[in-house]
Amino acid sequence: MNSSSTCNKKITFLLFLSFVFFSCSVDSDVTIIKLGHGLDPSHPVHIGMVYLADRVHELSGGLMKIDIYPSEQLGTERECLELLQIGSLAMTKVSSAVLEGFAPQFRVFGLPYLYRDDDHRFSVLEGQIGQELLVSLEPYRIRGLCFYDAGYRSFYTINRPIRTPADLNGLKIRVQESPMAIQMVNIMGGAATPVSWGELYTALQQGVVDGAENNPPSFYTSYHFEVARYFSINNHTAVPDVLVISKHVWDHLTPQERSWLQQAADESAEYQKMLWRESTEASLQAVKDAGVEIIYPDREPFFDRVQPLYDRFKTDPRIGPLLEHILEVE
């Protein structure tokens, strides 16, 4: 199949969805917003969005409602973003790594070992830098509402544990569709292999990839621990999730509806942060109980290996100044 045929089929699919899934509708004076995402309903980020929907209902006195469609019911993260851009889906949750293909400034979050500690991380995301980045999506017909905590990402593998960067040599490691993630894994010594989240379990099971990298709750709720029996906690990146709304839909909400939605989003981010801490601890214990070997490698060799990325991006006119501001945050 040639690229033109593939492109035409994709456009047809998106147009079909635009007729089937109306992004925002009014039913008996109730504004109904559709939110699609790719996570399992047991995932703490999904539960955070359920809290969001509950708060919107409470704040609006029932005049506003969010319907949530998890588990890629409405498409992959990238497909949901594309539907947002044409106003056919109102809201979605995506990893900031996926946003790199739409807004290059989000690549900065994919830099490994970016933060000194959690206090530094949340000062960046919840402060001026984070707010400016959320608004910076508007030229791409998307508006950011808040960041959700997605913790730290680490490697998990099928046949051998990762204790040093040298252990990645020759391994195909699944990454998101993120230029930064691809560069990071490759510079550490692995072979970065983009695979969609919904296809990853089968890819691990069939040996299409030798491992992946993600956070403990995602490793657990996806059941990837059934196939990948080694989890190496090197905490190389802390890539946040981002709750976004179609700019088309946002512009058609009343000022009062925007206020309800933004307040609910901010409150859900605080609630989800608490859920994340609890879920991370519970997930690590659950996979350990299931027989997964948990490894805590020395992070210094990994940190040393990725320094060329910093040298490269410090001179990037779009990333360099932003990186400098992040490193200066107290």
Burial of 5 (0-12, 13-18, 19+ CB in 10 A): exposed
- 144 phi, psi to nearest 5 deg: -85, 140
For residue range 85-135, list pLDDT tens digits in order. 999 999 999 999 999 989 999 999 999 999 999 999 999 999 999 999 999
pLDDT at 2 over 60: no
pLDDT at 8 over 90: no
Sort residue 247 into left (φ over 0), alpha (ψ -120 to 50) or beta. alpha
For residue range 281-300, list pLDDT tens digits in order. 999 999 999 999 999 999 99
Reported pTM = 0.90
Handedness of CA 289, 292, 298, 303 (dihedral sign): negative
CA dihedral 284, 111, 184, 221 (to 10 degrees): 30
For residue range 240-272, list pLDDT tens digits in order. 999 999 999 999 999 999 999 999 999 999 999
Same fold, 3-100+116-149+240-281 and 153-238+286-328: yes
- Amino acid 26: pLDDT: 59
- Amino acid 129: pLDDT: 98
Alpha-carbon Rg for the chain, nearest whole angstrom, is 20
* CATH code of domain 153-238+286-328: 3.40.190.170
| CATH fit for domain 3-100+116-149+240-281, picks 3.30.360.10, 3.30.70.920, 3.40.190.170, 3.90.1300.10 | 3.40.190.170
Confidence of residue 9 (pLDDT cuts 50, 70, 90): very low
- The structure tokens 């997930």 sit at 283
Edge-to-edge strand list for the sheet holding 153-157: 191-194, 172-175, 211-214, 153-157, 230-237, 293-295
Domains of the chain, residue spans: 3-100+116-149+240-281, 153-238+286-328
- Amino acid 4: pLDDT: 46
Cα–Cα separations (whole angstroms), residue 90 to 22, 143, 178, 237, 239? 8, 11, 23, 29, 23
Structural tokens at position 328: 């200066």
For residue range 195-228, list pLDDT tens digits in order. 999 999 999 999 999 999 999 999 999 999 999 9
pLDDT at 42 over 90: yes
- Amino acid 230: pLDDT: 98
Average pLDDT, integer, range 163-170: 97
